[in-house]
Structure 1
Amino acid sequence: MNPNKALWEKGDFTRLAATMRESGDALVESIGVKRGMKVLDLGCGDGTTALPAARRGADVLGVDIASNLVAAGNKRAAEAGLRNVNFQEGDASNLTDIRDRQFDLVVTIFGAMFAPKPDDVAKEMVRVTKSGGRIVMGNWIPNDPTLVAQILKTSAAYSPPPPEGFVSPMTWGDEDIVRARFKGAGVPADALWFKRDTYVFNFPGAPSAFVDTFRRYYGPTMNAFAAAEQSGKAEQLREELETLFTAQNTSTQAGVTSCSATFLRVTVQI
């Protein structure tokens, strides 16, 4: 199996996505999704941004490499009575079923950044966007002190070395690298804009329970714990993550965890 597909079909990312809904809706509002727009949500998960876009009247296609998340997205859409959104399997680096210049907006929030072959990802996003359309990416930032970048950094420290030729998804959080990738796709540097933005995770439980959710359901953290268990360091990894989650928690309510994570919002004008 494709290793990236295996990673995101592992566990159950919907458990994490449930903590991200409010920020997903706010982000869709902020990027100006309007009725009648054709929107591609790439690396869509179970629809944290796709469903809010559809609720605003856009015609939405969600594409994700994980079959379980595609099924979950279609289920959520059906339960919400939304007929203007559909989810299908696909690889962000090779969108074989999608015609050129089809979408007014291509949005990918912490999705396409994890696909291999990032140069191909940039080219595919540009290819399927209409002239005059936009691409909006949300990408975690390397070495950022907030929650998700630190989870991924800590998890990587306990995981086996990546295979030869591996390109870290965190490189999508480097503005110079993003410019170079889109330049390779034919986009001039003055057609790109960057902004630091914030996503909030709201979890109905203590920080330790939130760590347990990542441990059981989030592919990268699951892999880190599997490796840590083999080396006898699982308890050390758990303690590190609990310290991180507790320090990042801004909620004043007992039994509720709220953590903010800074990301790089990339806007590309085609």
Structure 2
Amino acid sequence: MEKADSCRRAAVEAVADVEPPRLYEYIESVLDRASMVPAALTLESAAAMSPEDYVFEDQDGRHCAGESETDRDRTQISEYDSERIVTHAAGVQLIYEGLRLTRSLAHDEPWTVADDDADEGDLAILAADILVARGFYLLARTDAAGKAVRTVQSFGRDQTRRAELEPETASAVGPDGADSAPDSLDANLEHDVLELAVRAGAVAVDETPSPQLLAVATDLADAAGTSFPPVTECLTDLEAKVREQSLEDSTTDRATSATDP
């Protein structure tokens, strides 16, 4: 949980200068309610892809990686590296929250109802733009920036396509009462964001994510659909899956090295 709290604080700090106060408070409330799964996966991916095991320390100096006392013997990464990893994680989270908020507004436009709702919608769309922009700022000049751009571009195409499909699928609902094609397009955001999280975590330690780690992101996104659970509900499972893939990657690398001429 310390990991998620560190990322949440970093995300809030990234928007600390937003004005007027009402807009800042709105953005802060969005981040307070956010599931930190994308940020947590970024941290776990950095841990998995690091050339050496390390102890991640949050901003208060607490050890956040591993579960046993033996982790004290791991190589401790520098304060700069820890800050860089948290910054990448906060950037991923900000982009996701901004796009998620945009998606919500696109599905249920507040400007077609009462004036009070329209005012709230104006605030929300400004907040969404700021969240995405600040997320891009935190990931700028990193090897994850390209994936961040593609995530936003893909989101825009999906939402345009969804708007075109809705009239066609209005009467074609599945057994669960949901029209599957628009829902599938919506869920692309979660897939893209978790892939971005893996890539952002890997590049924070100057590595390229393994196919196995990217597969973890895909599995998590498939299970989540269009809404991530609270990070406390899945963090232990997330850590276990990432570590399992990390061990598998290490075993594969050793086997490959042993058979190399």
TM-score (norm 1): 0.27
Give 1 or 2 for the bigger CA radius of gyration.
2
Which protein has greater RCO, CA pairs closer than 8 Å, 6+ apart? 2
- More strand per residue: 1 or 2? 1
- More helix per residue: 1 or 2? 2
